[in-house]
């Protein structure tokens, strides 16, 4: 009887060890710790098609921040800012005058002045969010990938951008979302973005840039369900040196996931136009 119990115990131990080994084994998609993404049909490049979304508090503040009350007292806890870890490597290296401007931006972030774009968070007025802010707003976006160009459709304000993979050109004019030229470095999509109008912010905390902004984005598939997103920021008018942000972007897996219609302009017309606006029902 004792021997029988001993064999049962050994068998149970073997099953447990096998389960642990199975859990520790690499995923079927991974070899030597590196994920190999499916290829876009007809190309040698990863297929990034899908609906993606950042999860975090970078849209409030890309740097470390504590919980804060709502900027409008009447909003109570609904508009309060949750605490969050930053996505910036180190601290944002502002020039002294720019650091003071950032402080003023934070104090005036909820001011809506239709005649002065330099005051208040542009997103409050439903202006296009710019790059990279559009990526980590708390709304999904869709990547539609082709061989020659990639279109990204963002939910907020129905913003869109085209990443030109061939026939790279300089921007003809400055714009809210800039001009994007892309290339592949192995499995990483590298996007060089210039031609900004200088009117967007990086977050609701007032972190900002000028029209000399130069953004380099790197999208790298790490698993079937998320991308590593790294973005390097350069702007000699505002920052002492280049700086970097990094965060994961998650694939939306819920049934029926889609980028919905969020044309927010009608919600801010009374603020921008006053008595000229149609009354909100």
Residue 263 has pLDDT above 80, yes or no: yes
Separation of alpha carbons 254 and 251, rounded Å: 9
pLDDT tens digits, residue range 68-77? Answer: 998 888 888 9
Report the share of the chain in percent with pLDDT over 70: 85
Distances in Å between the Cα of 278 and the Cα atoms of 12, 113, 150, 269 are 73, 18, 37, 8
Among 60, 55, 62, 126, smallest CA distance to 277 is for 126
Average pLDDT over residues 37-64: 97
Output phi, psi for 190, to 5 deg: -110, 125
Residue 228 has pLDDT above 50, yes or no: yes
Residue 243 has pLDDT above 50, yes or no: yes
Q: Quote the pLDDT of residue 265.
A: 83
Separation of alpha carbons 194 and 183, rounded Å: 15
Q: Can you give the pTM of this predicted structure?
A: 0.85
Question: Two tokens at 91?
Answer: 């601290």
Residue 27 has pLDDT above 90, yes or no: no
């Amino acid at each position: 009887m004792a021997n029988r119990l001993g064999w049962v115990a050994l068998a149970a131990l073997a099953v447990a060890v096998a389960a642990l080994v199975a859990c520790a084994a690499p995923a079927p998609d991974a070899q030597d710790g590196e994920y190999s993404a499916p290829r876009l049909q007809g190309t040698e490049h990863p297929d990034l098609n899908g609906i993606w979304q950042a999860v975090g508090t970078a849209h409030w503040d890309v740097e470390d921040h504590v919980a804060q009350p709502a900027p409008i007292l009447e909003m109570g806890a609904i508009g309060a800012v949750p605490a969050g870890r930053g996505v910036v490597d180190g601290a944002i290296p502002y020039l002294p005058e720019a650091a003071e401007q950032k402080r003023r931006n934070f104090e005036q972030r909820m001011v809506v002045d239709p005649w002065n774009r330099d005051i208040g968070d542009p997103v409050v007025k439903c202006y296009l969010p710019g790059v990279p802010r559009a990526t980590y707003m708390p709304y999904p976006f869709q990547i539609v990938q082709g061989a020659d160009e990639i279109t990204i459709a963002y939910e907020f304000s129905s913003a869109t951008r085209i990443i030109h993979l061939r026939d790279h050109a300089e921007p003809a004019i400055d714009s809210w979302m800039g001009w994007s030229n892309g290339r592949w470095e192995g499995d990483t999509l590298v996007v060089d973005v210039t031609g900004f109008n200088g009117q967007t912010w990086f977050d609701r905390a007032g972190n900002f840039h000028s029209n000399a902004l130069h953004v380099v984005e790197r999208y790298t598939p790490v698993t079937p369900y998320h991308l590593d997103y790294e973005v390097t920021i350069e702007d000699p008018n505002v920052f002492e040196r280049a700086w970097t942000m990094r965060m994961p972007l998650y694939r939306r897996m819920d049934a029926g996931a889609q980028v919905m219609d969020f044309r927010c302009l009608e919600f801010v017309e009374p603020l921008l136009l006053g008595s000229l606006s149609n009354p909100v029902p």
